[in-house]
Amino acid sequence: MARLNEQVEALLQEYADLLSITGGDAYRARAYEKAARSVGGHPADLAGLDAKELREIPNVGKSIADKIDEYRNTGSIQAVEALRAQVPTGVRQIMAIPTVGPKKAGALYRDLRITSPEELREAIGAERLNDVPGFGERTAENILHGLDLLRRTGGRVRLDVATATAAEITAVLGAVPGCVRCEPAGSLRRFRETVGDLDILAAAEDSDPLMAAFTALPDAADVLVHGTTKTSIRTTAGLQVDLRVVPPEDWGAALLYFTGSKAHNVRLRTMAVKAGLKLSEYGLFEVGSGARIASRTEQEVYAALGLPWIPPTLREDRGEIQAARRGELPDLVEEADLRGDLHTHTDLTDGVASLEEMLDAAAARGYAYYAVTDHAPNLAMQRMTEEKMLAQRSRLRELGPSHRGMRLLHGTELNIDPDGGVDWPADVLAGFDLCVASVHSHFRAGRAAQTRRLVRACENPHVHVIGHPTTRLLGRRGGLDVDLDTVFRACARTGTALEINSAPERLDLGDEAVARAKRHGVRFAIDSDAHSTLQLDNQRYGIGTAQRGWLGGDDVINSWPWSRLRRFLHDR
DNA sequence: GCCGTTTTCGGCCCGACTGTTTTCAGTCG
C-alpha cells in the first residue's frame, strides 16, 4: 500500500475531478485540488496526526480534515463513493487524454455514454462526435493524437510508482523466514523511465513461504500465475508483478538474467558460446562437461566472461560490453556525488513548502550549495513580481551566504518566450546568482522556430541552465519538435548546461539525448525541480537517467565543488 | 471548501491559445 498521504492525495484529486465532470462549483473543485497537493507534499505521515494537526496542513479545513479522518477509520470516503456511483471510472481515464478535460469528458459521457478511451476511439471512427455540440473535426483529430500518445506508454507506470511498489513488496518478502535476499530486477533496476512489468527476485531454499506471502499481499488483486519458481500478480493499481525465487547459489546468474536488458543478455550469451560456455538464469556452464563455472554473484559471472561488473543502468547493448572489454567503462555519477540542487521551488510560487522548510530539508541531505529558483512573472498564474522576488532574496541574504553548511544561491526559473527571450531586463537578471530558463508555452511551433528559440536562450549571457529542455511529460505530452543537435552545439559553444529534470513525470532530457549531448561536449545539471521537501529525493531518478546517458561526475555541474561551480556561473 | 496585517464573507491563479463559435468555453501551464 502506498503511503497514506499519497492515498489521500489521490482520493482528493479524484473527488476534485468528479466534481468538475459533474459540473460542481469550480472553486470547490479547486479547493480539493489544492488540498490534494498539500497533503501529498506534507512531510509528516497523516497516520500519526491528530485532528488539530490535520487542520494545520495548508488548504485543509474542517470538511477535508473530517474526510481524511473518515478514510483513516473506514478505508473510504462516503462523498467520494457517492460521486463514483454517478460517474463510471472510465470517464476519468478519458480526462487523462491530452486536450480532453472535465467538460469534454462529461459531455462525451452525457451525450454518447462513452466510458472508456476505446469507446471514444470507436465513436470518432464512426463520426459520432459530430452530434455533440462543441465537437468539430479538429477536436476529433486532437483527441486521436492524444489517444496515440497515451497508447505509446499505455500500461507502463512511472519510475516512482514502480519504485514505491517494489519497496513495499521487497520489504514484506524480505521478512519472510528463509528469504536470503530479495531485490527488484528488470527495467526498474536499470532505471528505465517507465516500467511495464515489475520483476522481483528472491533467493531461498524453499520458495513456498515466499510465494504464499506474495499472493497474500494486500495489494494483490489477481493471481495470474502461481508456481514454485515464478508467480505473477496484478496489483490493485493494475501493475503486473512477477516474483521469481531461486536457490541462493544461483542468485548472481538469475539477477543478471532478470535484470536484462534482453539485448544485453543476448550479447553476453553470444560471448559465452564463443568461449565454449552456456549462460542461463541458472549460471554459466561448460558446454562439454556441464560443470558450473559461476552463478553466485553477478561479479563472478561477468568475471568468468572476462568482464568487469557492468552497472545495470548501462545494460542496454549500447556499447557497454565492448567498453567493458576494453576496460573503458565510464566512472558513473552517483547520488552521493551530488553537492547541491540548482532548480527548486517554494510556496512563493507553486511549491507547497516554505523557504525555510525547503532549506532545512536540503541541508539534511548534506548539500554544499542550494539554489531557490521560483517562477518568473511571465508565467502569469504564479503572480510573481519583482517586489516578491527581491523580498525573497533579502530573506535568503539574511540567512547569510552560508546556512547550515550550505551556500545559498538566489535563482529563478525564467520562461523562454516564442522568440527565445526571457522575463525581466538584463539588469534584473544580473542580480541572480543562477538562472534556469525553461519553455512553458507555445509547444506547437515548428521545428525551425523551436530550435531558434532554444538556441537564443542558450546565447543569453544570463542563462546558466536550460530547464526540462524538451518539456515532454511521460505519457501525456511528447517533446518539442526541435533539432536537438543544433541546441547541443549551442550549449557547448556558449557554456550553457542542460538540465536532467529528475521529476519522474519528466526525466527530461531523456537518457539517449543525454548521451548524444555529452558527445557534443555539453555539461548537465541534475535537478529535482522540487515543489515539496519530499520531492528533493527525486534526484535518484535523475541520477539513473544520467547514468543511462553514461555521465560521470565531471559532466555534472552540481557534483562539482563550489569553487568550480562558482567559476562556471561567473564565466557564463 | 479554504482563508484572513484591507475581510468571518466574498473572494479565490492569470493569460494565451484553440476550435468552435459569431462572442466564448475549454484546456493548459
Report the distance from CA of residue A440 to the C1' of nucleotide B29 in Å, as an integer. Answer: 6
Task: Please report the beta strands in A161-239, taking only residues with DSSP state E, as ranges in sequence order.
Answer: 181-184, 194-195, 198-203, 220-226, 230-235
A173: closest CA among A143, A228, A215, A133? A215
Report which of residues 325-364 in chain A place their beta carbon less than 7 angstroms from any atom of strand B. 350
Q: Do residues A313 and A535 touch, judged by C-beta distance below 8 A?
A: no
Cβ of A384 near strand B (distance < 7 A)? no
Q: How far is CA A48 from the centre of its chain?
A: 27
What lies within 8 Å, CB to CB, of A289 at 6+ separation is: none
For residues A568 and A572, give the distance between their C-alpha atoms in angstroms, rounded to a whole number: 6
Per-residue pLDDT of A368-387, as tens digits, reads 999 999 999 999 888 899 99
A519 touches strand B (CB under 7 A): no
Residue-wise pLDDT tens digits, A125-183? 988 888 888 898 889 999 998 888 888 776 688 999 999 999 999 999 999 999 999 99
CA–CA gap between residue A219 and residue A43 (Å, rounded): 24
pTM for the model stands at: 0.91
CB A500 within 8 A of CB A509: yes
Backbone φ and ψ of A535, nearest 5°: -70, -10
Question: pLDDT averaged over chain A?
Answer: 93
Cell of A15: 473527488
Grid coordinates belonging to A348: 512563493
Q: How far apart are CA A364 and CA A347, in angstroms?
A: 19
The gap from C-alpha A190 to its chain's centroid, in whole angstroms, comes to 14
Query: How far: A101 CA to B7 C1' (Å)?
Result: 34
Among all strands, which nt has the closest C1' to A349 (CA)?
Answer: B13
| Cα(A337)–Cα(A331) distance, integer angstroms | 12
| Structure-derived torsion over alpha carbons of residues A511, A445, A106, A21, reported in degrees to the nearest 10 | 70
Chain A residues 58-77 with Cβ under 7 Å of strand B are 58-65
Please report the pLDDT score of residue A476 as a whole number: 82
Asked if the Cβ of residue A52 lies within 7 A of any atom of strand B, the reply is: no
Q: Angle at CA A529, nearest 5°, toward A524 and A531?
A: 170
pLDDT confidence of residue A140? 92
- What single letter denotes the amino acid at residue A361? A
Which nucleotide is at minimal CA–C1' distance from A104? B26
Q: Round and report the angstrom distance from CA (A28) to C1' (B27).
A: 19
* Per-residue pLDDT reduced to its tens digit, A405-427: 999 999 999 999 999 999 999 99
CA A56-A58-A62 angle, to 5 degrees, is 60
Please work out, in degrees rounded to the nearest 5, the angle formed at the alpha carbon of residue A377 by the alpha carbons of A35 and A424.
155
CA distance A207 to A192: 29
For residues A472 and A508, the answer to whether their CB atoms sit within 8 Å is yes
**Rounded CA–C1' distance between A135 and B24, in angstroms:** 14
pLDDT at A217 (0 to 100):
94
Q: How far is the CA of A31 from the C1' of B23 (A)?
A: 30
- List the grid coordinates of A59: 488548504
Give nearest nucleotide to A139 (CA–C1'). B19
The residue lying closest to nucleotide B3, measuring its CA against C1', is: A59
Distance A61 CA to B8 C1' (A): 14
**pLDDT at residue A1 above 80?**
no
First to last CA, chain A: 47
A569 has a pLDDT exceeding 90: yes
Q: Which nucleotides of B are covered by protein (CB under 7 A)?
A: 1-3, 11-21, 25-29
Q: What angle do CA A54, A57, A59 make, to 5 degrees?
A: 115
Report which listed range, A108-112, A139-143, A299-303, is most confident: A299-303
Please give the Cα distance from A406 to A403 (Å, whole number): 5
Which letter, b or e, does each residue of A60-80 get, where b requires 16 or more Cβ atoms within 10 Å of its Cβ? beeebbebbbebeeeeebebb
Q: How many CB atoms lie within 10 A of CB A192?
A: 22
Residue A2 has pLDDT above 80, yes or no: no
Residue bearing the bigger pLDDT, A359 or A24: A359
- What one-character-per-residue DSSP string does A509-550 give? S-HHHHHHHHHTT--EEEE--BSSSGGGGGHHHHHHHHHHTT
> CA A81, C1' B20: Å apart?
35
Residue A33: which nucleotide is closest by CA–C1'? B1
